[in-house]
């Protein structure tokens, strides 16, 4: 794992930029903006993907597989925290003395001349960022943006705009969200996560305090999340707009109906505004309220802002339907924290009707699995009817002895509601054996669990025959 050097002095001219892992949703978006800015972009990734093909079409030279020769004549390197230090491209760049930038540093370099809206929080960042971008476009603005997922209506996760506004999903996982010269800070929540990096809840919260305190224009922050409320109480001299269902929220969500696509009202500045979203879930009504708070805080008309935000149709890997076989619908969701899993499955419950929810959970990170195994088990048992637990996706971490998906499944109160099946084909076949007409199968995780979806659909098809 490579941790960003937050003290690195970034050159004014980065020249030809080489991206290691260019196909990822965040990296590909940043690479696209470097191309838009006139840079020669090269890169590498472990596999072909839609992002790789799209960047090649824009002129990027991209190799499949990691090798030192891929760096070519690059002047600088951009990496992610998931990269290992023995990566041959990273090693060669260090030997040559090239600037090696974490992706957040590359993004900070891009946004330095813009008015930045930065969205942070343990959950809801991608959706909230997408809602802000959709809202701004809907009222006639043209912001630049980089999101953590593809915005469905736009077909991209990043684009260059003509306005001074730049909207980014800011990553708190390694502290890199503190790099930005933020104008408007949106904090969706401060639910404990990434303790492998921060070491303690106090350090995690302190980073959010610093992030919000650094905002030069104003702060939008949850009124409902305990961690966010604690952060709010520690801010000094800031213009603050709170949002949520709390009675004292500046933007207060009320009159919510969650049966199907969620509808609700928001109270702001003595007036009420009502809307219905195109996506389900109580959490998405609250996300929309946060986006609304950003837009009205920027001075845009409230009714038009809420109407524009409500056109948001979702992002890739957020409760995304991939197919229906024999009446069984297969969805994929990025949820990888107990709170996110609860929100995703609660949203599914509002639209599944008489059907059951079958969760396919891929634990992400050994440290998170060890720390939150009980919380994952309790959440999955509460919100899903049946759960299949896969093996742990380690990402940037080395395996830990005794930490497997079984750590989650063994903590279920009723073992008949869960199965630990680390082999993917066996897992897909098992799901097909228990699924019936009207059920929702939902894959959960921010690793590569989405790759099991074709196997699930195939097994359901085979079971039908």
CB 290 within 8 A of CB 117: no
- Distances in Å between the Cα of 345 and the Cα atoms of 37, 195, 283, 408 are 40, 24, 11, 17
267: left (phi over 0), alpha (psi -120 to 50) or beta: beta
Coil/strand/helix, residue 366 = helix
| β pairing state of 165-169 and 115-120 | parallel
Q: State the number of CA atoms in the 13 A half-sphere of 249 facing the CB.
A: 25
Sequence-separated (6 or more) residues with CB below 8 Å from residue 411: 373, 374, 376, 377, 378
CB 201 within 8 A of CB 370: no
| β pairing state of 271-280 and 261-268 | antiparallel
Taking the C-alpha atoms of residue 163 and residue 115, their distance in angstroms, rounded to an integer, is 9
**What token pair was written down for 178?**
């503190």
Q: Which residues are catalytic?
A: 125-126, 169
């Amino acid at each position: 794992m490579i941790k960003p050097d937050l003290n690195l002095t970034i050159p004014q001219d980065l020249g030809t930029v080489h991206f290691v892992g260019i196909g990822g949703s965040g990296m590909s978006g940043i690479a696209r903006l470097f191309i838009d800015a006139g840079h020669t972009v090269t890169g590498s990734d472990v596999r072909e993907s839609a992002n790789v093909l799209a960047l090649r079409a824009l002129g990027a030279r991209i190799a499949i597989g990691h090798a030192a020769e891929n760096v070519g004549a690059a002047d600088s390197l951009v990496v992610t925290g998931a990269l290992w230090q023995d990566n041959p491209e990273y090693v060669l760049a260090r030997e040559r003395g090239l600037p090696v930038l974490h992706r957040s540093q590359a993004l900070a370099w891009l946004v330095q001349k813009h008015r930045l809206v930065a969205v942070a929080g343990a959950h809801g960042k991608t959706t909230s960022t997408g809602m802000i971008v959709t809202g701004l476009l809907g009222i006639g603005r043209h912001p630049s943006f980089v999101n953590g997922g593809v915005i469905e209506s736009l077909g991209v996760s990043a684009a260059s705009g003509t306005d001074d506004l730049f909207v980014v999903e800011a990553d708190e996982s390694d502290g890199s969200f503190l790099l930005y010269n933020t104008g408007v800070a949106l904090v969706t929540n401060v639910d404990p996560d990434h303790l492998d990096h921060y070491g303690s809840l106090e350090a995690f919260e302190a980073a959010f305090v610093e992030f919000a305190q650094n905002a030069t224009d104003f702060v939008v922050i949850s009124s409902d999340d305990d961690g966010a409320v604690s952060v709010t109480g520690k801010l000094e001299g800031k213009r603050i707009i709170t949002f949520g269902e709390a009675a004292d929220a500046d933007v207060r969500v009320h009159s919510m109906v969650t049966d199907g696509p969620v509808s609700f009202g928001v109270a702001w500045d003595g007036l009420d505004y009502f809307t219905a979203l195109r996506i389900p879930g109580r959490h998405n009504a609250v996300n929309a309220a946060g986006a609304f708070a950003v837009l009205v805080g920027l001075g845009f008309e409230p009714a038009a802002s809420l109407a524009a935000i409500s056109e948001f149709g979702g992002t890739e890997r957020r409760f995304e339907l991939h197919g229906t076989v024999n009446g069984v619908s297969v969805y994929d969701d990025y949820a990888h924290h107990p709170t996110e899993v609860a929100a995703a499955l609660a949203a599914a419950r509002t639209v599944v009707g008489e059907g059951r929810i079958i969760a396919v959970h891929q634990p992400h990170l050994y440290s998170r699995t060890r720390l939150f195994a009980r919380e994952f088990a309790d959440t999955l048992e509460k919100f899903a009817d049946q759960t299949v637990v896969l093996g742990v996706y380690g990402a940037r971490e080395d395996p830990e002895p005794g930490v497997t998906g079984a750590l989650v499944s063994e903590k279920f109160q009723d073992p008949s509601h869960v199965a630990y099946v680390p082999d993917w084909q066996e897992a897909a076949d098992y799901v097909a054996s228990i699924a019936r007409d009207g059920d929702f199968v939902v894959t959960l995780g921010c690793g590569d669990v989405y790759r099991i979806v074709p196997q699930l659909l195939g097994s359901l098809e085979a079971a039908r025959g």
